[in-house]
């Protein structure tokens, strides 16, 4: 029967080793010394943190899932939402749009100025002239 080889990343290997050290009742100092002998010098704070976690009864060596937050808020769906918001009221500032959309102001700024190609003119967001002419004056 062939043996299956599982490739693990270095961080996961280190956590497994720390978990093993906790199980055989090594001290934190002995664990840090052993981990630093085998792996490229990891941060001793992280080793101490994982050592404390495993000592407190934590059994999983993988990270727990975090709160579901979008990886990127700069996507086509968000661009459409910002466009609708700006078209509904062109007098909104970038900060007001960001607050309304629950986005970071720099992302909102990038969507409005680079993706939607709008500019501020007389306290209103208006399309650039070249885009306006290309699309046949449709705004």
The beta strand positions in 28-137, using DSSP E, are 118-121, 124-127
Residue 65 has pLDDT above 60, yes or no: yes
CATH fold for the domain made of 10-55: Arc Repressor Mutant, subunit A (1.10.10)
State both tokens at 62: 């993988």
Residue 86 has pLDDT above 70, yes or no: yes
Q: Which of 118, 103, 28 is nearest to 72 (CA)?
A: 103
Band (pLDDT 50/70/90 cuts) for residue 132 is: low
The beta strand positions in 82-131, using DSSP E, are 118-121, 124-127
Identify whether the C-beta of residue 84 lies closer than 8 Å to the C-beta of residue 100: no
């Amino acid at each position: 029967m062939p043996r299956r080889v599982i490739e693990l990343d270095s961080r996961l290997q280190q956590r497994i080793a720390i978990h093993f050290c906790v199980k055989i009742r090594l001290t934190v100092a002995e664990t840090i010394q052993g981990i630093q002998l085998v792996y490229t010098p990891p941060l001793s704070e992280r080793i101490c943190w994982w050592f404390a976690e495993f000592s407190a009864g934590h059994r999983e060596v993988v990270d727990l899932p975090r709160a579901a937050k979008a990886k990127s808020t700069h996507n086509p769906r968000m661009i459409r939402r910002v466009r609708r918001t700006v078209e509904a009221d062109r007098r909104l500032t970038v900060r007001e749009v960001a607050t309304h959309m629950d986005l970071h102001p720099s992302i909102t700024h990038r969507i409005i100025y680079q993706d939607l190609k709008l500019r501020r003119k007389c306290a209103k967001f208006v399309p650039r002239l070249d885009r306006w002419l290309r699309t046949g004056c449709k705004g």
